[in-house]
Amino acid sequence: MVVFDEKLIKKYDRPGPRYTSYPPATEFKESITYKDYERKLNELYRRRSLLSFYIHIPFCESACWFCGCNVMITKRRDISGRYLQYLFKELSLLEKYLGNELKIDQFHIGGGTPNFLTEEELRKLMEEFLKRFSFTEGAEISIELDPRFLTRDYVKTLKELGFNRISMGLQDINEEVQRAINRFQSKELMLKVMDWLREEGFNSINIDLIYGLPNQNPKNFKNTLEFTLKLSPERVAVFNFAYVPWLKPLQRKIDKNLLPKPEEKLKMLKSAVELFQEGGYVFIGMDHFAKPEDELTLAQRKGELWRNFQGYTTRKGVELLGVGATSIGTLKDSYFQNYKTLRHYYLAIDEGKLPTFRGYIMDEDDLIRREVIMDIMCNLGVDFKKVERAFSINFKDYFSRELEELEELERDGLVVLKEDRISITELGRLLVRNVAMVFDKYLRNKKELTFSRTV
């Protein structure tokens, strides 16, 4: 069971990366262009790697004021048709470098609101992918859904098209909280949608919650946690609300005087950790919980869990291609992000170029540090011998400075330093980002960190 120490959490609570990549996306450079992407795609083809695709659908019919995603609020139903035409053109550009022999092992549609697409548009999207690529047996095919705009027929279509993993945002069931964030979603609706999904045979469902929203308090958030337990999803993510109106203008609509105080947020987090563990869920790390038989739990037990821009994944070594505006891909030693605005995304494709906005090419040190940071974040420890075999280094010599810095964290009970291993303790699991940050060379010279807080 995870140990909750309020004093230590306050000591270590500071801004830090979520490590969906290392180096973090803040280090991406616009000097990395589509030419670099083309070169890396050629290398990918020669490796014959399995593929993962992330497809970004940026449209939302209604604005959620807490949102930090790259979205476009519109009720125009024709806008998605044009967007898909450009997305298919991007696929054709990728096909020039990848051919049609490589297989997809992981496929995810995110947003925005992916079910902004009509059933016909979703069928067309899947058809265009299957023209060019095929899925592995047992591929993970997932989609994010907004329950407020979902129908029973849409759920049936998802099943027919082969989707096998669903993610939905619940955030909070309290009406006062929903009013303050402009997202109205009743308990009755969630129960109905869960029934539809279960009746169609979906047995891998993730629910997203957020703590720290306006009008939330420990008492009413506990009601949300208990309701989520009744829904019994296979996975739950409990995110800390980052109030950054200077970065996300939509958040200016939130009355900051209604936000809970830091000590109230800690109580909400503690309640989530305790209730989900008592309810039989395993605390995977940071803000994710999963049932004991879930793939994430099994992968973590084997030391095989990984992270990418989709969060925790069991597909380490599968190379991720981002398709659509603002999407990010992760290849073996590089990252590439598409243009964020539709105008620039469309313009690049009209010029016959991959719509690459920026990226990062890793050196050997980046690769070594990424391996260490991901093992800390995902598998709760680092085996020195494993890293030494992979990169032909002496771990203690290479990371002498970092091991010395970890001694304070060991005194505080967050880690155990052994002769050939770093282990995260039950006390340190909530602060795993802080442990990983010790190995992040890009943080050393930063005077100001613009990341979300670690707790």
Give me the residues paired with residue 134 across strands.
Answer: 103
Q: SS3 for 308?
A: strand
Select, from the ranges 58-67, 160-169, 238-247, 311-320, the one with the highest average predicted confidence (pLDDT).
160-169
Residue 388 lies in a domain: yes
All residues at 6 or more sequence positions from 246 whose CB lies less than 8 Å from its CB, including other chains: none
Q: Which helix (H) or strand (E) holds 267?
A: helix 262-278
Q: Is the same domain home to 68 and 190?
A: yes
Distance separating alpha carbons of residues 89 and 55, to the nearest angstrom: 13
Q: Is the same domain home to 186 and 38?
A: yes
- Span 240-265, average pLDDT: 91
Q: Is the same domain home to 193 and 283?
A: yes
Q: Is the same domain home to 42 and 147?
A: yes
* CATH number of the domain residue 250 falls in: 3.20.20.70
- Span 31-54, average pLDDT: 96
Give me the residues paired with residue 330 across strands.
Answer: 320, 335
Q: Is the pLDDT of residue 450 over 80?
A: no
- Sign for the CA dihedral angle at 191, 193, 198, 199 comes to positive
pLDDT of amino acid 432: 94
pLDDT of amino acid 452: 67
Exposed e or buried b per residue across 272-302, where buried means at least 16 C-beta atoms within 10 angstroms of its C-beta: bbebbeebebbbbbbbbbbbeebbbbebbee
Distance separating alpha carbons of residues 132 and 127, to the nearest angstrom: 9
Averaged confidence pLDDT in the chain: 94
Q: Two tokens at 322?
A: 């981002």
Distance separating alpha carbons of residues 37 and 20, to the nearest angstrom: 20
Residue 357 lies in a domain: no
Number of folded domains that form the chain: 2
Cα radius of gyration (the chain): 22
Q: Is the same domain home to 402 and 273?
A: no
Residue 295 lies in a domain: yes
Q: Two tokens at 98?
A: 């990848």
Q: Is the pLDDT of residue 206 over 70?
A: yes
- Span 406-410, average pLDDT: 97
* pLDDT tens readout for residues 290-334: 999 999 999 999 999 999 888 899 988 899 999 999 999 999 999
Crossing angle of helices 34-47/79-98, nearest 10°? Answer: 60
pLDDT of amino acid 447: 66
- Domain limits at 185? 25-321
Give me the residues paired with residue 104 across strands.
Answer: 51, 135
Q: Is the same domain home to 228 and 262?
A: yes
Q: Is the same domain home to 304 and 407?
A: no
For residue 323, the one-letter residue type is V
For residue 400, the one-letter residue type is S
Q: Is the same domain home to 123 and 146?
A: yes
Crossing angle of helices 119-132/79-98, nearest 10°? Answer: 10
Q: DSSP letters along 309-359, please?
A: TTEEES-TTPEEEEESTT-EEEETTEEEEE-SSHHHHHHHHHTTS--EEEE
Q: Is the pLDDT of residue 446 over 90?
A: no
Out of 269, 299, 321, a domain closes at 321
Q: Is the same domain home to 317 and 410?
A: no
- Sign for the CA dihedral angle at 430, 448, 400, 21 comes to positive
